[in-house]
């Protein structure tokens, strides 16, 4: 009895805590053959500590180990060697964690040894993110390095640089499943519309997914649609070289974007800015914004409605749109569907209007100066002067954070003292002048 108590007290506190936390989950998870409860706990703790040392977040370790029971049967030393091999590829930390969580099979040491030898033969042109994509794809489809080298040789034989080949495999690892004829068919299509080989190198390295599109069922119908819309082949070629993502348009997508642009109701200067780079590019800019809004949870009809009601959002760069929406969701804590009701939010200036108004409202809310919940419409719709008179003017401490209409120095249009140059020249008054003035005034009376 005393011996058992001593044995219990000698257990590390950290191990006891982890065991008590995971006891419920272990009871629901089948124990691998040859493991007792105690050995399962210890193996699980050892794996968790190992992964945590290599940068895995603690919050994801429990679910990761629960969903991948095969790791409990693996050799811990080989798992550590596998992580060391992955680190030797210089894959960024976040990408490495994402790779292992999405495809835990890459921790197979024999699999990694084979690829380590293959990548070493490619030299310094191999990009770390290309290695990540290739490892994940080859593990899922049980591919060996021979397929990668064969695809790379095909592209090199056409005239692509090593840097471009690496970027293509990084963005489209499915190239390893394609044969030479399929690759050549995509290249011939691009050459057929007049793009030179160096231009094709740029197009494919910038948008590698084009190699996954069918020529007969996707690329040729897309080219025909562009021509039916009235665009010449020279213009299409020029736009594709400048922005290769144009080849990612769905059939009929550009037509819908151009229809939206034709029905816009906005001031002429805004229209001129929208079409400053041509009708084709304006339609593609609409497509980019629709795709981004849909990725956040809007449906296409809502996304098109937002852009139609607020055309100024098309004139802003995508980086500005992303910054505004990130501020809306994470700082202001509004829902993305608020844009359907208040699309004007995307059309106002971020630094001059959105941020100052939000700072004023947050200050008033924190100091109990705001007796109601303020929505996005009340924040964006009022003019600057109206917002100032309602929320800023009664509270002098808010004037500095609001900026405009506050007590700031206004620069003079002219240098100080310039008025002296325009002052009329003065002459001394003589008795004769005084008498002359009196005589003149007498005649008026």
Res 404: pLDDT: 60
Res 410: pLDDT: 45
Lookup: tokens for 186: 């995509």
Q: Give the mean pLDDT of 14-23.
A: 38
Q: How many CA atoms lie within 13 A of 424 on its CB side?
A: 2
DSSP result, 244-290? GGGGGPPTTHHHHHHHHHHT----HHHHHHHTTT-HHHHHHHHHHHH
Residue 297 has pLDDT above 70, yes or no: yes
Res 418: pLDDT: 59
Q: How many CA atoms lie within 13 A of 329 on its CB side?
A: 12
The lowest-confidence range among 188-202, 316-330, 396-410 is 396-410
Residue 381 has pLDDT above 70, yes or no: yes
Residue 235's Cβ-count burial label (10 Å; 0-12, 13-18, 19+) is: middle
Provide CB contacts within 8 A for 114, sequence distance 6+. 144, 145
Looking at per-residue confidence, does 366 or 271 come out higher? 271
Res 32: pLDDT: 52
Q: State in Å, rounded, how far the first CA of the chain is from the last one.
A: 134
Res 162: pLDDT: 84
CA–CA gap between residue 397 and residue 213 (Å, rounded): 59
Confidence of residue 146 (pLDDT cuts 50, 70, 90): confident
Tens digits of per-residue pLDDT, 207-218? 999 999 999 999
Lookup: tokens for 37: 């409860």
Tens digits of per-residue pLDDT, 83-103? 999 998 888 888 999 999 999
Residue 29 has pLDDT above 80, yes or no: no
Res 415: pLDDT: 60
Res 67: pLDDT: 86
Res 2: pLDDT: 38
CA–CA gap between residue 321 and residue 323 (Å, rounded): 5
Res 19: pLDDT: 38
Res 393: pLDDT: 86
**Contact yes or no for 203/242 (Cβ under 8 A):** no
CA angle 310, 314, 316 (to 5 degrees): 110
Tens digits of per-residue pLDDT, 175-200? 988 888 999 999 999 999 999 998 99
Residue 425 has pLDDT above 90, yes or no: no
The lowest-confidence range among 161-165, 230-234, 319-323, 324-328 is 161-165
Q: Give the mean pLDDT of 24-32.
A: 45
Res 414: pLDDT: 55
Provide CB contacts within 8 A for 217, sequence distance 6+. none
Tens digits of per-residue pLDDT, 328-365? 999 999 999 999 999 999 999 999 899 999 999 998 88
Lookup: tokens for 26: 């272990």
CA angle 174, 175, 176 (to 5 degrees): 85
CA 176 to mean position of chain CA atoms: 27
Q: Give the mean pLDDT of 362-372.
A: 80
Q: Give the global pTM.
A: 0.75
CA–CA gap between residue 64 and residue 101 (Å, rounded): 7
Task: Report DSSP state, residue 143.
Answer: -
Res 18: pLDDT: 38
Res 147: pLDDT: 77
């Amino acid at each position: 009895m005393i011996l058992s108590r001593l044995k219990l007290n000698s257990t590390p506190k950290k191990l006891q805590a982890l065991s008590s936390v995971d006891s419920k989950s272990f009871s629901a998870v089948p124990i691998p053959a040859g493991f007792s409860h105690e050995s399962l706990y210890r193996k699980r703790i050892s794996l968790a500590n190992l992964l945590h040392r290599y940068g895995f977040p603690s919050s994801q370790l429990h679910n990761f180990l629960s969903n991948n029971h095969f790791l409990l049967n693996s050799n811990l030393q080989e798992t550590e060697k596998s992580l060391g091999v992955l680190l030797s590829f210089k894959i960024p930390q976040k990408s490495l964690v994402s790779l292992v969580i999405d495809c835990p099979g890459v921790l197979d040491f024999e699999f990694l040894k084979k690829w380590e030898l293959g990548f070493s033969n490619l030299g310094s042109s191999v990009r770390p993110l290309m290695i990540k994509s290739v490892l994940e794809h080859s593990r899922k489809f049980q591919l060996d390095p021979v397929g990668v080298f064969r695809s790379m040789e095909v592209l090199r034989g056409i005239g692509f640089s090593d840097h471009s080949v690496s970027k293509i495999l990084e963005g489209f690892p499915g190239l390893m499943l394609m044969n030479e004829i399929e690759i050549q068919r995509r290249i011939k299509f691009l050459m057929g519309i007049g793009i030179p080989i160096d231009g094709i190198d740029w197009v494919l390295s910038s948008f590698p997914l084009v190699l996954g599109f069918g020529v007969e069922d996707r690329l040729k119908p897309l080219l025909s649609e562009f021509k039916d819309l009235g665009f010449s082949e020279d213009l299409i070629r020029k736009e594709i070289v400048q922005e290769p993502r144009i080849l990612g348009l769905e059939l009929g997508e550009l037509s819908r974007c151009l229809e939206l642009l034709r029905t816009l109701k906005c001031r002429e200067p805004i229209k001129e800015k929208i079409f400053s780079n041509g009708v084709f590019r304006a339609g593609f800019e609409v497509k980019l914004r629709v795709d981004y809004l849909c990725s956040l949870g809007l449906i296409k009809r809502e996304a098109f409605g937002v852009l139609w009601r607020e055309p100024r959002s098309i004139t802003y760069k995508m980086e500005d749109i992303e910054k505004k929406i990130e501020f809306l969701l994470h700082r202001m804590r509004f829902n993305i569907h608020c844009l359907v009701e208040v699309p004007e939010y995307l059309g106002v200036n971020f630094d001059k209007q959105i941020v100052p108004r939000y700072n004023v409202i947050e200050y008033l809310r924190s100091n109990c100066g705001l007796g109601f919940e303020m929505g996005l419409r009340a924040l964006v719709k009022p003019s600057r002067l109206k917002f100032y008179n309602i929320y800023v003017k009664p509270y002098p401490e808010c004037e500095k954070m609001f900026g405009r209409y506050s007590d700031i120095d206004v620069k003079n249009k002219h240098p100080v003292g310039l008025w002296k140059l325009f002052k009329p020249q003065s002459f001394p008054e003589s008795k004769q002048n005084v008498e002359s003035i009196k005589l003149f005034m007498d005649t008026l009376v």
